[in-house]
Chain A
Amino acid sequence: MATHSGGLNPAHGTGTTAVEERPAIRTRRLVRRFGDRDVLKELDLTVAPGEFTALLGRSGSGKSTLLRAVARLDHTVEGSGELTVPDRVSLSFQDSRLLPWLRVIDNVTLGLRGPKARERGLTALAEVGLEGRDRSWPHELSGGEQQRAALARALVREPELLLADEPFGALDALTRIKMHGLLRELYERHRPAVLLVTHDVDEAVELADRVLVLEDGRISIDLTVDLPTPRSRRDPRFQEYRDTLLTALGVAQPQTLSEEKESHVPHA
């Protein structure tokens, strides 16, 4: 495997970032098992506070299993290993998962404790560009707006760690571009650690500062993306990262991946 300008590290290293504070995610020898199949095989991962990490992997590589483990939503799954996560963890799903019987503002502030929950909710809604929609029902919002509301619900909790499971997977291409910009902007402002699970290599390189590839229950590639933001997909270095990751994912010709998404990269 070629050494990349951005730094391509072996999987089982101590991580790319020098961690001085308590890490946002730390797993040691994490195992998750479905039946007699180990989906996560003694996985070691450290994510620093405020680090934007994307997790790539083919279907069945264990991406969602890892995310659900970190979110502690998998008590029924067999497993072992150490796992440390912060107290304030927010989760966003592929579907916006707004409760249809609560107005948007009540969805955003659901479970929020402490005074001024409502004001905080309104601020979060304004931040995602939904000011004035607080009294709407979820079904009155478009798909993109619903996902924005879900993002507001995740952010209003001021998470130290934001877990996102293909949050843009169900959106159309144009809405997705806007949401990428919004997510990055919110990230820069609030600086939570982010673990973004995606199957879209371009999305990973565009948004994250570190990209992991999960393969067969282990992290096979740990790549630091050293590009200034906002990132252009036309940048030749962007394409280098992209090609490296596609190769790692076992896609020999990058073009063949375009079945799952529109190719935004003009071919030179």
Chain B
Amino acid sequence: MLVIALWWFASAIGYLDPRILSGPGTVLSTASDLISSGRLQDNVLISLQRAGLGLFFGVTAGVLLAVAAGLSRTGEYLLDGPLQIKRAIPSLAMLPLLILWLGIGEQMKVTVIALGVAVNMYINTYASLTGIDSRYVELAEGLDLSRAQFIRKVVVPGSLPGFFVGLRLGVTASWLGLIVVEQINATSGIGYMMFQAQQYAQSDVIIVGLVAYGIFGFASDAAVRAVERKVLSWRRTLAG
């Protein structure tokens, strides 16, 4: 609040050059212009689609890999090593190679986002899966649980805490990936809109983009946390 008030004041007395940083009023009216022209919605929609698709493929791949590595020795042997190495290489560093392979279209953008998400999902889900108490495995054996029941009642709930840690990191990773891919040869999306604005020194448009990113980042994290609280309500935590 204080920051906004200061910002307002500095702009009003002309201390801030609009080319460096537009005043809050300008930003607001630009935002409403962008909305009434439909430009903001179009770009937001395409950005959300990219992030959503990347998140979807990343989560699916990460979980499948974690299950494959967590439930079979062969899977662990084949998958865990390479994925732990992959973890050391930031997904964004793969960008040149992915552009070379997939071009600069949507496919590359979604892949970059999905890669970052998948690694986070894998690492955390796998850790949680292999960390399930062996006493519960013994219990399942004593109760003659079938393989399907064992997975449904023991493995899945037992690995959910790690899944949610992975999901929260994955959501953050998907926004990060989105921001980067939208700065590179994009022709649409919030990042593209901001990049264009930079060329014309429209700091107000840039700020609208930043706010949009901020809102989506915050809202998605809050959504994941809400689902997590609901699903993991059995947990006794410090937060109560």
Interface residues of A (CB under 8 A from B): 71, 73, 90-91, 93, 95, 97, 99-103, 110-111, 137, 139, 153, 157
Distance of A73 Cα from B135 Cα, bound (Å): 11
Whether B143 sits at the interface, judged by CB under 8 Å, is yes
Query: Which of B143, B157, B236 is the one whose CB lies under 8 Å from A111?
Result: B143
Q: What 5 additional pairs, Cβ within 8 angstroms, besides A97-B136, A101-B157, A101-B232?
A: A99-B136, A99-B139, A102-B153, A111-B143, A139-B234
Restricting to B212-240, which residues have a CB under 8 Å from any CB of A?
232, 234-236
Hey, which chain B residues are within 8 Å of A100, CB to CB?
A: 234-235
- Residues from chain A with a CB closer than 8 A to the CB of B235 are 100
Taking a contact as CB atoms under 8 Å apart, the answer to whether B141 and A73 are in contact is yes
- With both beta carbons as reference points, the residue of chain B lying nearest to A87 in the complex is identified as B144
By a CB distance below 8 angstroms, the chain A residues around B32 are none
Known A-B contacts A97-B135, A99-B153; A91 and B142 likewise in contact (beta carbons under 8 Å): yes
A99 touches B154 (CB 8 A): yes
Query: Nearest-CB distance from B161 to chain A (Å)?
Result: 9
B184 at the interface (CB under 8 A from A): no
Chain B residue contacts of A139, Cβ below 8 A: 234, 236
Across-interface contacts of B140 in A (CB, < 8 A): 111
Interface of chain B residues 49 through 85 with chain A (CB within 8 A): none
Verify A71–B154 contact, CB threshold 8 A.
Answer: no
In the complex, the answer to whether B145 meets A111 with C-beta atoms within 8 Å is yes
* In the bound complex, CA of A36 to CA of B183 (Å): 66
Contact partners of B160 in chain A: CB under 8 A: 101
**With A99-B136, A100-B235, A101-B158 as contacts: A110 and B145 at CB distance below 8 Å:** yes
Summarize B's interface: helix, strand, loop or mixed.
Answer: helix
Q: Spell out B's residues near A (CB within 8 Å).
A: 135-136, 138-145, 149, 153-154, 157-158, 160, 232, 234-236
Check if A137 sits within 8 Å of B143, measured CB to CB: no
Q: In the complex the two chains form, is A73's CB within 8 Å of B234's CB? A: no
**Complex alpha-carbon distance, A150 and B160, angstroms:** 24
The minimal Cβ–Cβ distance linking A251 to chain B, given in whole angstroms, is 31
Can you report 13 A-B residue pairs in the complex whose CB atoms are below 8 A from each other?
A71-B142, A90-B142, A91-B142, A97-B136, A99-B153, A99-B157, A101-B158, A101-B232, A102-B153, A102-B157, A111-B140, A111-B144, A157-B143
> Contacts of A153 on B, CB cut-off 8 Å?
143
Contact check, B139 vs A97: say whether CB atoms are below 8 A apart.
yes
Interface centre among A97, A101, A102, A157 (most CB of B within 10 A): A101
Expressed in whole angstroms, the minimum distance between the Cβ of A146 and any Cβ of chain B is 13
Given contacts A99-B136, A101-B158, contact A110 B142 (CB under 8 A): no
Residues of B within 8 A of A71 (CB): 142
Q: Are A95 and B135 in contact (CB under 8 A)?
A: yes
> Hey, which chain B residues are within 8 Å of A102, CB to CB?
153, 157, 234
Contact A73 to B149, CB < 8 A, known contacts A99-B154, A101-B234: no
CA distance A97 to B135 in the complex (A): 7
Q: Which residue in chain B gives the minimum CB-CB distance to A91?
A: B142
Q: Please, how many angstroms separate the alpha-carbon atoms of A139 and B233 in the complex? A: 11
Contacts of A99 in B (CB 8 A): 136, 139, 153-154, 157
**Complex Cα gap A229–B18 (Å):** 92
